Structure 1
């Protein structure tokens, strides 16, 4: 019997505890997945992960969480859903995908300390933060877990780590041994990293609008101005007190009371009828475009119209500065600076380098759910494009491209390597190999029907048309109803 069996017994002390299913509908994780409190727990866990020096450095160098936080959130939920779902084949494929992703993330931080996303101790800490934050979520909302439920949940997260292939021992074998391990990590290993500071003091205050509210900057700015500081305050208040002291995080008067009130209020969702809150549906709604063929799109369009009118009223009665949203329609050109910021600079650090193009390859591979060798082909095509860009645009030779270098050097990026990126993307999207992208294949990549985004293309999308449109977007800086949600949206 292995750690990934659907049910087993694990000795946690003098008594033998019988556990139910570790994955799927019978698991403790499944019980929490659609719980609104878990969004708070996820934010808290992310902060604790970012406070680990290796994870913080990897986030700064490679992650899109600053420029594209909603995309990263959606992908995280999708990954957890696959890992903890009932389909074992989907779980094994997702584990293999995560391992390939992590194997590509290594480097050194600002103090020249190495980091490696495949380090088993680091991966164990990620799982530990998810488990402990879920336990804390229940406690803060006045519904602490029973001991047996806590042990079951711990066994599930251990099984999650085992599916990734990590050997036993990187997480303590029993729940009783876990708490000293967790306290040691908090008191001695965590730091006030740059990634932690960005999450707490920049991300919440400058969170970009999700696709659903794109084009409604005034409405979004008003809501963010109220919600951003609250989320930051309750997150800091929920962190372990020893770490708050060591990191010098400010103690805001009333934050503890506010935090407990928010957790308690979110916990009331347990009284809602079953099925009212579904994470998958909510995530899909956040990303729903008015151009989608989803039946909910008409309602969303009407709601957006009303919100635009509310935004106009807000501009009359509030001091929020006027903010311009994206231009309406397709075909409008972006400035070089805007294109650099919204499309090329995926990590949001102000420069274009390999992690930005790797993030594009990662997002496309995730959308298409690619296996090997297609995933590697796409990464290799982007790597070749990066070498071409670096040779043409890196004027000062510092290994990265600034927006000034990009804007001044050339007006177009359509070299042979970018054409190859377009061809490889077509080939991996064309799953049946018939040299056309049909409706289902198009939906897998763009999450909408092509009759909405490519007028006149009712039945299929040819290789030449696809490559032409991709190059028009990437080199001509053309706005595109199809490609903007793919690479430019948050």
Structure 2
């Protein structure tokens, strides 16, 4: 049963290149964040699954960002491919040696070239502009942090700010801006963003996220995580997103994340990064590589 759960979850992220495949070629390279970072802790936890879904929901509240996705992305035809490519980027940027970080960032920049057009409200968009890149980056940072705080461990205010600061360095490499440097400022920037508005692209994206074409064996667990993600969205955003939390969603998703954490333990990318850096660690916190 444990192997089936691990293979089922891991299989959803196996539709692109495997991150950190050659990370051992860069011994001692701490990468962008490093072993003492909060980012390795937060993104190595299974609560990241909730955070990823939450980020996609919130990102859809920006009409120009979601128009770019709607017009140029193949997420409807290849949802697991898009998920896997996003996972590759996040994993490489967080845990990779610097050459791996730079490669991941360059791939994103290349993918954004040519992603331009006009939204339904007549506003031009380009994925390469700092402001739109900031919306995507900042909502992802805030979502990973919120999911960890709700379903993972508890960070102090200083640790939460450290996480945001670490992620800011990734955003700077992407050319995103503005990039708030504290958790409170980040949340305020998102909830008070003047560009947010409902749009046809938003409704299409949320409809897709409610019922993506994934195997039935995975859909029930996904639905619990989705409901948990919705329950964590700030009340300032729910009127725009037209979302309502399901009663009991937080308790169910907490139980789901706890179960996944017991089975899957921490990210194997975190383990690979620790080994690359020569840092001692408790092997019990990571699953057997043979599983």
- TM-score of the superposed pair, with normalisation by structure 1: 0.45
Deviation of 1:279 after TM superposition, in Å, equals 6.8
Aligned twin of 2:274: none
Choose which of 248, 262, 278 in structure 1 pairs with 2:268: 278
Matched, 1:172 2:194: no
Deviation of 1:274 after TM superposition, in Å, equals 5.6
Matched, 1:190 2:196: yes
Q: What SS does structure 2 have at the residue aligned with 1:242?
A: coil
Choose which of 220, 236, 241 in structure 1 pairs with 2:230: 236
Matched, 1:47 2:57: yes
Structure 2: distance between partners of 1:113 and 1:46: 21
CA distance 1:37–1:109, shift in 2 (3 Å): same
Q: What SS does structure 2 have at the residue aligned with 1:189?
A: coil
Deviation of 1:195 after TM superposition, in Å, equals 3.5
Deviation of 1:251 after TM superposition, in Å, equals 5.0
Aligned twin of 2:136: 126
Structure 1: distance between partners of 2:265 and 2:230: 31
The question of whether the paired residues in 2 share the 8 Å contact of 1:117 and 1:123 is answered with yes
Which 4+ stretches in 1 moved above 6 angstroms?
none
The question of whether the paired residues in 2 share the 8 Å contact of 1:28 and 1:149 is answered with yes
CA distance 1:251–1:203, shift in 2 (3 Å): closer
Question: Aligned residue pairs: how many?
Answer: 244
Choose which of 20, 42, 45 in structure 2 pairs with 1:32: 42
Aligned twin of 2:257: 266
Structure 2: distance between partners of 1:165 and 1:249: 31
CA distance 1:265–1:199, shift in 2 (3 Å): same
Q: What SS does structure 1 have at the residue aligned with 2:243?
A: coil
Larger gyration radius, structure 1 or structure 2: 1
The question of whether the paired residues in 1 share the 8 Å contact of 2:61 and 2:196 is answered with yes
CA distance 1:192–1:23, shift in 2 (3 Å): same
Q: What SS does structure 2 have at the residue aligned with 1:107?
A: strand
The question of whether the paired residues in 2 share the 8 Å contact of 1:48 and 1:129 is answered with yes
Aligned twin of 1:332: none
Aligned twin of 2:16: none
Q: Which runs of 5+ in 1 are unaligned?
A: 1-19, 210-219, 282-295, 300-490
CA distance 1:88–1:229, shift in 2 (3 Å): closer
Aligned twin of 1:79: 89
CA distance 1:73–1:265, shift in 2 (3 Å): same
Aligned twin of 2:189: 181
Q: Which runs of 5+ in 2 are unaligned?
A: 1-29, 272-289
The structure showing larger relative contact order (alpha-carbon pairs under 8 Å, at least 6 residues apart) is 2
Structure 2: distance between partners of 1:98 and 1:62: 14
Choose which of 138, 141, 163 in structure 1 pairs with 2:148: 138
Structure 1: distance between partners of 2:264 and 2:103: 33
Deviation of 1:237 after TM superposition, in Å, equals 2.5
The question of whether the paired residues in 1 share the 8 Å contact of 2:227 and 2:253 is answered with no
Deviation of 1:231 after TM superposition, in Å, equals 4.5
Q: What SS does structure 1 have at the residue aligned with 2:125?
A: strand
Choose which of 100, 112, 115 in structure 2 pairs with 1:105: 115
